[in-house]
């Protein structure tokens, strides 16, 4: 994990919107995960919850988590 300590660093933050659809079922996406190799997947809350343990075991990292919004 990389810690960003430079206060002048600006991160490009992206939020998921209604056009982002779950890669599993096409419901509105609320979580985006990054996989090794650079690919990413977006998930509805239901399918992220169903696959969270497997994703973690594969080393996936959460990029965006809007489940609380």
Per-residue pLDDT at 2: 46
Mapped onto helix, strand or coil, the DSSP state of residue 9 is coil
Residue 47 lies in a domain: yes
* Cβ–Cβ under 8 Å, residues 37 and 51: no
Q: Is this model's pTM higher than 0.75 or not?
A: yes
State how far the Cα of 57 lies from the Cα of 27, in Å rounded to an integer.
Answer: 24
Mapped onto helix, strand or coil, the DSSP state of residue 60 is coil
State how far the Cα of 67 lies from the Cα of 37, in Å rounded to an integer.
Answer: 25
Per-residue pLDDT at 10: 55
Residue 48 lies in a domain: yes
Domains in the chain, number:
1
**Whole-number CA gyration radius for the chain:** 13
pLDDT in tens, the chain (69 residues): 444 455 555 556 789 999 999 999 999 999 999 998 899 999 999 999 999 999 999 999 999 999 998
Bridging pattern class, strands 40-43 and 31-34 = antiparallel
List the domain range (segments joined by +) for residue 51: 31-65
């Amino acid at each position: 994990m990389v810690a960003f300590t430079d206060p002048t660093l600006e991160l490009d933050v992206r939020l998921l919107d209604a056009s982002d659809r779950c890669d599993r079922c096409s419901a509105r996406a609320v979580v985006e995960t990054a996989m090794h190799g650079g690919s990413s997947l977006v998930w509805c809350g239901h399918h992220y919850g169903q696959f969270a343990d497997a994703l973690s075991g594969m080393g996936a990292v959460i990029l965006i988590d809007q489940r609380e919004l």
